[in-house]
């Protein structure tokens, strides 16, 4: 089934631990995105990738890193988790290589709690 | 700064019509999206407007006025399954998607 998968579905993490959220898409989309969603706030862009091999910083990149080794995968790493990173994380993708008005398609999300 | 405003919450009755407004102030404009998000789920695409006017798609319609920085989503013949949050998002001059906080729509029988 075509779409975006994310893992894990949810996670409780101790502060200071390292964590990687996984995102895989099988639609051969060029652009991929990581957002966080917090109550009362709009989706905020953490990092993005317009095409395999390139990444860029979004609105709230501090404390997060990404890589894009191939078209399908776009993992998000928290090097040393802090409680303020408690949030729901969504991965998304769109067909074109950035600079477009393409619709973004979202994965099911990862609910992360940092204690 | 860039800003998108939507009401936080709205309540409507099953079978009725509801209009959810969105006003925006962004650096440039390359289009506006509406997404639906059920609780605990991912946002899903509803509509895209780039020209002024009304776009109709079944029970849902979306309107845009670029000169007023204003859009609305109109939902007709409301069903219980329409209970969800509705997110407005604008593509700015850098082709970044700027998101509103969303409007939680509660449908009552």
pLDDT band, residue A1 (cuts 50/70/90): low
Residue A101 to residue B31, Cβ atoms within 8 A? yes
The sign of the CA dihedral B84, B90, B96, B102 is negative
User: Which of residues A42 and B32 earns the better pLDDT score?
Assistant: B32
Whether the link from the prior residue into A23 is cis, omega within 30° of 0, is: no
The pLDDT of residue A99 is above 80:
no
Token output for A102: 């393409």
- Looking at residue A73, the DSSP 8-state letter turns out to be B
pLDDT at B1: 74
> Average model confidence (pLDDT) for chain A?
95
The pLDDT of residue A2 is above 80:
no
Give, for all 109 residues of chain B, the pLDDT tens digit. Answer: 789 999 999 999 999 999 999 999 999 999 999 999 999 999 999 999 999 999 999 999 999 999 999 999 999 999 999 999 999 999 999 888 999 999 999 999 9
Instruction: Compare all CA atoms of chain B with the CA of A108 and give the residue at the minimum distance.
Output: B42
Best interface-test mutation with B: which of A103, A105, A107, A110 has the largest number of B CBs within 10 A? A103
Residue B48 to residue A103, Cβ atoms within 8 A? yes
Q: Say if residue B11 is exposed, middle or buried (CB neighbours under 10 Å; 0-12, 13-18, 19+).
A: exposed
The pLDDT of residue A100 is above 90:
no
- Looking at residue B15, the DSSP 8-state letter turns out to be T
Instruction: Compare all CA atoms of chain B with the CA of A5 and give the residue at the minimum distance.
Output: B42
């Amino acid at each position: 089934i075509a779409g975006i998968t994310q893992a894990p579905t949810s996670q409780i993490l101790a502060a200071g631990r390292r964590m990687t959220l996984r995102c895989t898409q099988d639609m051969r989309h060029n652009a991929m995105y990581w957002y966080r969603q917090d109550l009362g706030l709009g989706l905020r862009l953490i990092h993005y990738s317009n095409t395999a091999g390139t990444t860029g910083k979004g609105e709230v990149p501090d404390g997060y890193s990404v890589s894009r080794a191939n078209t399908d995968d776009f993992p998000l790493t928290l090097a040393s988790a802090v409680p303020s990173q408690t949030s729901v994380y969504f991965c998304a993708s769109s067909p074109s290589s950035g600079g477009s008005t393409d619709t973004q398609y979202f994965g099911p999300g990862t609910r992360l709690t940092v204690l | 700064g860039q800003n998108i405003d939507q009401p936080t919450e709205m309540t409507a009755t099953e079978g009725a019509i509801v209009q959810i407004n969105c006003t925006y102030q962004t650096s440039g404009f390359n289009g506006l999206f509406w997404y639906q998000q059920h609780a605990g789920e991912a946002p899903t695409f509803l509509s895209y407007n780039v020209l002024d006017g009304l776009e109709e798609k079944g029970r849902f319609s979306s309107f845009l006025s670029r000169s007023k920085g204003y859009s609305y989503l109109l939902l007709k013949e409301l069903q219980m399954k329409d209970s969800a949050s509705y997110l407005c998002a604008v593509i700015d001059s850098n082709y970044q998607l700027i998101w509103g906080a969303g409007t939680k729509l509660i449908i009552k029988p």
